[in-house]
Structure 1
Amino acid sequence: MPMNTLKDVYIDQVKDLYSACNQSHKMTVQLADAATNETLKGALTAGAEGIKDGMEAAAAIVKAHGEEPSDEFCKGMEGLVKEAKAHAIDEDFGDRDARDAMIITQYQRMVHYGIAGWGCVVAFAKRLGLDEDAHTLQKCLDDTYDGDRRMTEIAAGEVNRAAA
């Protein structure tokens, strides 16, 4: 599909977020399984549910505009997921707290990609006068920011201290 209008860009990027959520959801479940700190494990489990909610919201928006969400594959998230697998899952750790610190690092990299994407599509939806879309997408953005802040709190309050 040629990108001729802001709406074309908007739909393309919501599809990209759908793919990014799909990929990051699967990795977040793996990160939760690998985590040993119970607070971290719980936050990752909640994060996986939030990502799933974002994926469903993106799919609903794309379908409401007459398209299919699975028409796009997010190469950016593909790279972040590969990095998370290599550094937090497959890496050999002699200390479980160090692995938990790495899990937070890799999760937050995926989340920051999501923050950028959600922020862009919120701005596009607002400019296009798609108020309902903008409201839904803003909630996804807010939830993503909340998850990121929660990971920072866990890292600073428990995990990094234990890993040091």
Structure 2
Amino acid sequence: MAIKNLNDLYLHQLKDLYSACKQSMAIVTEMGRVAKSRELSEALIAGNQGIARGMETLAQICDTHDTDPTGEHCRGMEGLVNEARKHAIETDFGDDDTQDAAIITQYQRLAHYAIAGYGCVRTFANRLGHDGDGAQLQECLDNTRDGDEHMTRIAEGGVNQAAMDGR
């Protein structure tokens, strides 16, 4: 697909973000299975539910623009997923709390990538006059930021301290 103007870029980025979300769901599920903290595990489950809602929104927006959301593969998220697997799951950790801290780190890297993506497509939508799209994308952006902030609270609320103490 040739990207000739902002509208083409907008549609391309919606599809790329859909791919990013789809790829992140699998690794978030894996990290949720290995997380030892119940609070962290529950937050990862909630994160996956939020990712699924975001994908639904992206698919609906693509549908209103007669675009198939599955037409791209996000290589950026592919790299982040590989890093998350390597650094949060496959690494040999000395204790469970340290692994939970690593899981939070990797989740937040995934979330920050999604925050950047949602922010860009929201801005494009608003510039193009797709105000309904912009409002929906702002909601996805807000939800993703909320999930990121929740992970920070979990980390600061005990996981990082426990990892430091080596409990």
TM-score grouping bracket, smaller chain normalisation: over 0.9
3-state secondary structure, aligned to 1:70: coil
Partner of 2:146: 146
Partner in structure 2 of residue 118 of structure 1:
118
Distance 1:59 1:129 in 2: 19
For residue 48 of structure 1, what is the aligned residue in structure 2?
48
Quote how far apart the aligned CAs of 1:94 are: 2.0
Matches within 5 A, 1:1-16: 1-16=1-16
Residue 24 (str. 1) matches residue 21 (str. 2): no
Once the 2 structures are TM-superposed, how far is the Cα of residue 19 of structure 1 from its aligned partner? 0.2
Rounded to whole Å, the distance in 2 between the matches of 1:82 and 1:58 is: 24
Q: CA deviation at 1:59?
A: 1.1
Structure 2 unpaired stretches of 5+: none
Percent of aligned pairs with the same amino acid: 54
Q: 3-state SS of the aligned residue for 2:70?
A: helix
Which ranges of 4 or more aligned residues in structure 1 deviate by more than 6 Å? none
TM-score, normalized by length of structure 2? 0.97
CA distance in 1, matches of 2:125, 2:67: 16
After TM superposition, list the pairs within 5 Å mapping 1:49-64 onto structure 2. Answer: 49-64=49-64
1:76-91 equivalences under 5 Å are 76-91=76-91
Q: Number of aligned residue pairs: give it.
A: 164
Aligned mates of 1:7, 1:74 — CA distance in 2: 19
Match of 2:22, SS?
helix
Alignment root-mean-square deviation, CA = 0.6
CA distance in 2, matches of 1:94, 1:55: 36
